[in-house]
Structure 1
Amino acid sequence: MVDYGVSPAFIVSLYGPRFSINDFCNGLSIARRLGFDFYQPEIFHKDQLEAWQNGGAEIINQAGSGLGLKASQFVAHFMHVYFASPKIIQSDAGLELLRQTTGWVHQFDGCKVLTIPTLPLEESDSIRSSEQYDEMQKYLFDKIIACLEIVENTGLKLAFEIVPFSVIGNIDRFLAICEAIGSAELGLNLDTGHAWATRDCVHLLPLKIRNRIFGLHLKDNDSNHNQPLAPGRGTIQWKFFLENLAKIGYLGSLDIEIGCEPERVSDEYSNGLNYLKGISQ
């Protein structure tokens, strides 16, 4: 049996990136009504941490559980700022907040993956030599290890989501980092839209990444513009992608990620869900 879920973009599309705990709970009711089984709790901005410190995780978990929804991964979106520039990458900034976040992840029944997105690198023009580039990559490697140790020590897995132009670069580079570190608890939240926009052959990625796929953000585009479209509205070869996911034994939920206007959420996510179900038969 295949399970389907929604990414945090479902909540962001409904209420904007500064959604409240109550917004999130209301969004879960809509997701369940549309036929989804899983969701992804997310802290989008650092200034939302206070709400989570005041019982937000428990409130959302109870709301989801009451609806029969489960959390597939926890997205610590706010952590992207600590991978945003060469200067901050070489610091310990963000590590204590990450340690705090692991406690909230454990409040979601069965959730074992904490995801950090890496957004486009800022101040990249400050890297003026090969030596500076190599130094930045060394600090990146060290910071990933530091994050992994924090997450791994609490019994969780750490996933990264690679956005085009991030410091990690691309999936091949990330897999090389994983190989060098050698931990089975380090993997990828595979965002098909981001991968397609960086010209990866998306339908073959399951065969390449294999057991390092810890979660999914399934969206479509034309590979020229990194748009968060519903599966089937772009040019990704979804049938082959899903077949290859099955071949590697992926057992997680298929979580859809679409960015759209609030009034379009129900239609867009329903269309994406029906499309994936249709080609899976």
Structure 2
Amino acid sequence: MYLGVPTWVFSWGAPYDDAIRRIARLGGFKSVELTVWNEELLNGYYTPSTNRQLRQLIADEGLKLSELFCIPLGMASEDAKQRAASVEYLKRVLDVAHQLGADTVLTVTSCPFELDFPFEQLKPTSQEWTIELPKGLDWKRNWSDFVDTMHQYEVLLEDANMRMAIEPHPNRMIHNSAGMLRLMDQLSTNRIGLNLDPSHLFPMGEMAQVVAYEVGDRIFHTHFSDNDGQSNAHWRPGKGKIDWGATIRALDDIGYNGPLSLELEDVPGAAGYPGFNRSPHSQPELLEREYRLARDYIIRAAEEQGVQIEQ
């Protein structure tokens, strides 16, 4: 196992060149992640020439690209045309991932029926948390349509010789290990697996170490950030209630040897989604301090379990 960093914590939007260089200068990190937030980035930024330049830069900095993040909207829509559009979108993302040198793409699934559920980070501990659901929704059909879309994703992944890691999020089609295991039982290949992200599993009442044993070798990637169960935030490991030693031990037990990517989206200095009281640009001194502290914490937690982190 080795440590990694998603570029979007350093710069929410493109270009990502400076973020890659800053991550390399931190020391102790071996991988980065890139993201395709939307159609605009896919068409306007990730051109063949830019992809070649990014791939070369990552290699020159002594790093590897662990995955390319994307959100194929419409995968859980009632509208067959929207589901088909999500398949076409993923096909284009896989082409970009291939050009960048990635063998894995990462995604979060849609909410049922593509409904707008409340944004979890806004959840105060005393607020009633609910959504007004339309009448007459066919929930079994929605799941069936979603699985059919996943089968179409599998065909694309097989053709591209790539994998997809699904990151469970509260309220989405895949929000916990049970949902992931249910989906895995209905898939035709081993191309789709899990991105183990304790900060999202913990608010759903799950322990990351248990999920690691449940899902086993279908864990393709990880995001490490802490949480206290009250929201969906991404804190520095050691600031919340997640047992990192047990999580690392479980990953080692199942033979996981991929990235432990520190996704510190809600720490001081982190870049964030514009308009959500956040700047798309990070504050380097604050953020780099958080990353060094997180790096050292995870390395110590691993050493206490007799697990060596590759550096």
TM-score (norm 1): 0.89
2: CA distance, partners of 1:193 / 1:222: 8
1:43 equivalent in alignment to 2:36:
yes
Deviation at 1:83, TM superposition (A): 3.3
| Alignment-derived partner of residue 252 in structure 1 | 258
Q: Deviations over 1:92-114 (max 9, x none)?
A: 112222112212211233x3111
Cα contact 2:175–2:201 (8 A) shared by 1: no
Deviation at 1:119, TM superposition (A): 4.9
| Alignment-derived partner of residue 10 in structure 2 | 14
Cα contact 2:76–2:146 (8 A) shared by 1: no
| Secondary structure at 1:39 match in 2 | strand
Q: Would the alpha carbon gap of residues 88 and 218 (structure 1) be closer, same or farther in structure 2, given more than 3 Å must change? A: farther
Cα contact 1:119–1:162 (8 A) shared by 2: no
Which is worse superposed, 243-252 or 119-128? 119-128
| Alignment-derived partner of residue 275 in structure 1 | 297
Deviation at 1:86, TM superposition (A): 4.0
**Percent of aligned pairs sharing the same letter:** 22
Q: 2:98 aligns with which of 100, 106, 118?
A: 106
The unaligned stretches of length 5 or more in structure 1 are none
| Secondary structure at 1:173 match in 2 | helix
The within-5 A match list for 1:161-176 is: 161-176=167-182
More helix by percentage: 1
| Alignment-derived partner of residue 52 in structure 1 | 46
| Secondary structure at 2:160 match in 1 | coil
Q: CA RMSD in A?
A: 2.0
2: CA distance, partners of 1:106 / 1:206: 28
1: CA distance, partners of 2:14 / 2:259: 25
Q: Deviations over 1:110-140 (max 9, x none)?
A: x3111121254543755534x7111111100
The unaligned stretches of length 5 or more in structure 2 are 117-131, 270-281, 304-311
2: CA distance, partners of 1:3 / 1:123: 37
The within-5 A match list for 1:9-158 is: 11-16=7-12, 19-21=13-15, 24-35=16-27, 36-49=29-42, 50-76=44-70, 78-79=71-72, 81-83=73-75, 85-87=77-79, 91-109=83-101, 111-121=102-112, 122-123=114-115, 128-129=135-136, 132-158=138-164
Deviation at 1:180, TM superposition (A): 1.7
| Alignment-derived partner of residue 206 in structure 2 | 200
Cα contact 2:4–2:30 (8 A) shared by 1: yes
| Secondary structure at 1:42 match in 2 | strand
TM-score (norm 2): 0.81
Cα contact 1:119–1:163 (8 A) shared by 2: no
Q: Deviations over 1:168-192 (max 9, x none)?
A: 3422112111112141111011111
The count of corresponding residues between Structure 1 and Structure 2 is: 269
2: CA distance, partners of 1:127 / 1:148: 31
